[in-house]
Amino acid sequence: MVLDSDLMDLKTPSLLLDAPRLQKNLQFMGQKLAAADIDLQPHMKTAKSVPIARMATEGHSGAITVSTVKEAEEFAKAGFSKITYAVGLAPHKLGRIAALLQRFPNLTLCLLVDNPGAIAAAAEAGQIFNRTFPLFLEIDSGAQRGGLRSDDPKLLGLAQQIARTQHVSLAGVLTHAGQSYAARNRQELLQIADQERLSAFGAAGLIRGLGLSCPAVSIGSTPTLWAAESFTGATEARPGVYMFMDVFQAQLGCCQIEDIALSVLATVIGRYEKPARLLIDAGALALSQDRSTALQARHPGRLDYGLGMVCDLHGQPFPDLLVAQAHQEHGFIVSRTPETTALPAWPIGYRVRIFPIHACMTAAAYQDYIMIENGAVTGTLPRFNGW
């Protein structure tokens, strides 16, 4: 029996995090990677929460991944001593990074580069601050975001530049197969997972072939790690959204709806006809404006959930409803079958939970997670935002 009286007392919108689901998601990934002898270095860009980072690193080395210098600072303060800052380095950030290292001398902070200027800047900062910066070379394994293709001759040039330059060292190669988000089925995910791993492993092999040390081969998006059947050649992995999951990941096949741990608690504030709609007090800020499932809906069997999947307080979805649009503080719940009668007869004040389309975006509007277990509130966990 679910106790939902707690959920009736919370302010709305609030960000709920289902503790057992979080645990289950953490365990699945933690155990799968541990079994493959891959160090899970969870990407904290999604959760941005120290206690969650502690949970997520259990059974692994304790190393984590971050997307901003702010995250590096916050997690270093909390005692994390090995952090990879996995966004291409802007040289001016080295001053702040050096200050962090000065404050935490035992911190190993790996940086990401894919061009000679960033390496030179890191070396220069290393000289000034008397530090050696460990650098990952970014490999583009098909995502077409940052990095070099593993067969790009410039890659070896960069490895050699690092090898002959003081105050920098090669930590390894790192890639993120973001194209996994466009996969249509598990078979495609499996292919992309292989492509991701083999690109990085291949790049490491070319570098090692020069007689250079390339210790780490870092891979990982949540979908490719979920699908992967082989990890040969990889040494570490950096998934992030797997902790919370979301509607997009569920439709990609990487989890069930019942695994989505994050939701936004909202209240019905209006009910209207022509066009038939229910207004809730969770809008574009509370849910984010991520519409990733609109792209998924081009594939058979996947639906556009707009800005969120509508569920009851027990987390049971109403399959016919979606948050079709939003203004800043208003969300519009509509039916897929656009008839007034298809909308449930919820009164003003009725509460719903909205499963996020993209958990990383939705969570970013909040300062804390309200932890729930079987519908009861068990506490809060802090998160931070900003740069």
CA angle 226, 21, 8 (to 5 degrees): 145
Choose between 235 and 313: whose C-beta lies nearer to a second copy.
313
Closest of 347, 272, 268, 349 to residue 310, by C-alpha: 268
Out of 22, 44, 45, 369, point to the residue binding a second copy (CB under 8 A): 45
Q: Is 340 in the site for a second copy (CB under 8 A)?
A: no
What is the sign, positive or negative, of the torsion defined by CA atoms of 377, 8, 303, 333?
Answer: negative
Closest of 124, 116, 104 to residue 156, by C-alpha: 116
Binding mask 208-247 for a second copy (x = CB under 8 A): ----------------------------------------
Taking the C-alpha atoms of residue 243 and residue 252, their distance in angstroms, rounded to an integer, is: 16
Q: Which stretch binds a second copy (CB under 8 A): 29-37, 81-89, 128-136, 186-194?
A: 81-89
> 370 in the Ramachandran plot: left (φ > 0), alpha (ψ -120 to 50) or beta?
beta
Taking the C-alpha atoms of residue 311 and residue 5, their distance in angstroms, rounded to an integer, is: 16
Q: Which stretch binds a second copy (CB under 8 A): 17-25, 53-61, 64-72, 296-304?
A: 64-72
Count the neighbouring beta carbons within 10 Å of the beta carbon of residue 11.
9
Q: Is 157 in the site for a second copy (CB under 8 A)?
A: no
Angle between helix 186-209 and 153-164 (nearest 10): 50
Choose between 146 and 239: whose C-beta lies nearer to a second copy.
146
Residues 273-312 within binding reach of a second copy (CB under 8 A): 274-275, 277, 279, 281, 284-286, 288-291
Q: Is 114 in the site for a second copy (CB under 8 A)?
A: yes
What is the distance in angstroms between the CA of the first residue and the CA of the last residue of the chain? Answer: 42
Q: Which stretch binds a second copy (CB under 8 A): 6-14, 122-130, 228-236, 309-317?
A: 6-14
Q: Is 382 in the site for a second copy (CB under 8 A)?
A: no
Q: Which stretch binds a second copy (CB under 8 A): 113-121, 163-171, 189-197, 370-378?
A: 113-121
Taking the C-alpha atoms of residue 48 and residue 142, their distance in angstroms, rounded to an integer, is: 27
Choose between 34 and 365: whose C-beta lies nearer to a second copy.
365
Q: Is 327 in the site for a second copy (CB under 8 A)?
A: yes
Q: Is 268 in the site for a second copy (CB under 8 A)?
A: yes
The residue written with tokens 């690193």 in the block is: 57
Regarding beta strands 331-335 and 14-18, do their DSSP bridges make them parallel or antiparallel, or are they unpaired? unpaired
Helix (H, G, I), strand (E, B) or coil at 292: helix
Choose between 121 and 171: whose C-beta lies nearer to a second copy.
121
Q: Is 146 in the site for a second copy (CB under 8 A)?
A: yes
Closest of 360, 372, 382, 387 to residue 9, by C-alpha: 372
Taking the C-alpha atoms of residue 111 and residue 138, their distance in angstroms, rounded to an integer, is: 10
Q: Is 377 in the site for a second copy (CB under 8 A)?
A: no
Residues that bind a second copy (CB under 8 A): 8, 11-14, 45, 67-69, 87-93, 96, 114-115, 117-118, 121, 140, 144-146, 178, 267-272, 274-275, 277, 279, 281, 284-286, 288-291, 327-330, 332, 347-349, 360-361, 364-367, 385-387
